[in-house]
Amino acid sequence: MKIEAQLFKSLADETRLRIIWLLMAKEEICVCDIMGVLGITQSKASRHLRYLYHLGWVTDRREGVWMNYRLSVTPGSPEDKQLKLLADILSSRPEALALREHLEQWLAAKGQSKEGAAACQCS
């Protein structure tokens, strides 16, 4: 039952929970966007994303100086079921909905800025 405890540990941190919640809304997200939306340092964002990477929750893709991450859970796996449960729990929470809204606004602002670069100093 150590494996199951480990599985829950992935979501036992508020920042990781928020990161996963954002990743669930998009196909792929840049570390710079996670930093911007959550208002955290690059070191903190990267640390949590590497943690999730090593446990198999996400895959990475380098683009210039930034890393992009996407969820990579197998449909029907315990991780997948856990994500569905998380979505179920958070979808009625105003704080979680506001975070998704913030992500949309952030990405829209980035899209409007020149080559999508100025908003988060990407690439």
Partner 1 sequence: MRAEARFFKSLADETRLKILWLLSATEELCVCDVIKVLGITQSKASRHLRYLYHLGWVTDRRDGLWMNYRLSLAPGSPGEKLLKFLEEMLAPQPEAQELRGQLEHCLEAKRHTECAKRLNAGRKGAPPGLTEP
In the complex, what is the shortest distance from the CB of residue 88 to partner 1, in angstroms, rounded to a whole number?
Answer: 6
Alpha-carbon torsion, ordered 88, 6, 75, 32, to 10 deg: 80
Q: Taking Cα atoms as reference points, which of 119, 91, 115 lies closest to residue 107?
A: 119
Distance CA 22, CA 28 (A): 10
Let me know: does 80 contact 10? Beta carbons within 8 Å. no
Sole binder of partner 1 in the list 1, 27, 74, 75 (CB under 8 A): 1
For partner 1, the binding residues in 45-84 under the rule CB under 8 A are 78, 81-82
Report phi then psi at 86, rounded to 5: -60, -45
Query: How many residues form the binding site for partner 1 (CB under 8 A)?
Result: 27
Sole binder of partner 1 in the list 25, 55, 65, 85 (CB under 8 A): 85
**Which residues lie across from 66 on neighbouring strands?**
63
Sole binder of partner 1 in the list 37, 71, 90, 119 (CB under 8 A): 90
Q: Which residues bind partner 1 (CB under 8 A)?
A: 1-2, 4-6, 8-9, 11-14, 16-18, 21, 78, 81-82, 85-86, 88-90, 93, 95-96, 99
